[in-house]
Amino acid sequence: MKKIVIFIVFIIGLTSCERDDICADTVVTSRLIVRVYDKDATNTTKSVSNLLVYGKGHVNNEAIQFSSTDSIVLPLKMFQNESTFVLVKNAVITNNIVTSGEETELKITYTPEQVFADKGCGYKVIYKDISAETPTTSWISSIRVLFNHLENEKKATIHIYY
């Protein structure tokens, strides 16, 4: 009889376990994908040489530098309505300071909305009403926002033409 009680308690213990709530990689807050295209052949991607990207107001050691790229992934601020990035084409860096290059700003405005993802991950942010602009004196000739709603990182949201 004692063995039966121990066995029943053991079975109840096994069946009452709950699975771990682990956050899947696909449920996090998305970053903005920007692709660069040739202004003369608008269906052809174009690499930017020695591109340096950093958030406006941040120091250079937080910058992301690419030797040559035609796409960048930018993190947007979750609790503000805009993010501004500095893009430096043909950047030359000496002692962690940008000494030369063609610099422009890319200002992205949006409406962040917190959405409950699941018990393991909690909340994620979806960005709505996305728009982008750059000063008229820029190496970027035009900007095109393809989707005004950012929920995942599957496709480029913005195209830059230069």
The per-residue pLDDT for 20 is 65
The per-residue pLDDT for 132 is 96
Q: What is the pTM of this model?
A: 0.80
The per-residue pLDDT for 40 is 93
The per-residue pLDDT for 68 is 82
Burial class (CB in 10 A: 0-12, 13-18, 19+), 109: middle
Nearest residue to 125 (alpha-carbon basis) of 43, 9, 32: 32
Q: What is the rounded end-to-end Cα distance, in angstroms, of the chain?
A: 82
Segments of the chain scoring below 70 in pLDDT: 13-14, 16-21, 24-27, 59-62
The total number of residues shown for the chain amounts to 162
Query: What gap in Å lies between CA 50 and CA 64, rounded to an integer?
Result: 10
Name the helix (H) or strand (E) containing 8: helix 2-15
Three-state secondary structure call for residue 70: coil
Three-state secondary structure call for residue 60: helix
Query: What gap in Å lies between CA 129 and CA 139, rounded to an integer?
Result: 25
Strand partners, 123: 116
Cβ neighbors of 106 (< 8 A, separation 6 or more) are 34, 84, 85, 86, 87, 132, 133, 134, 140, 143, 160
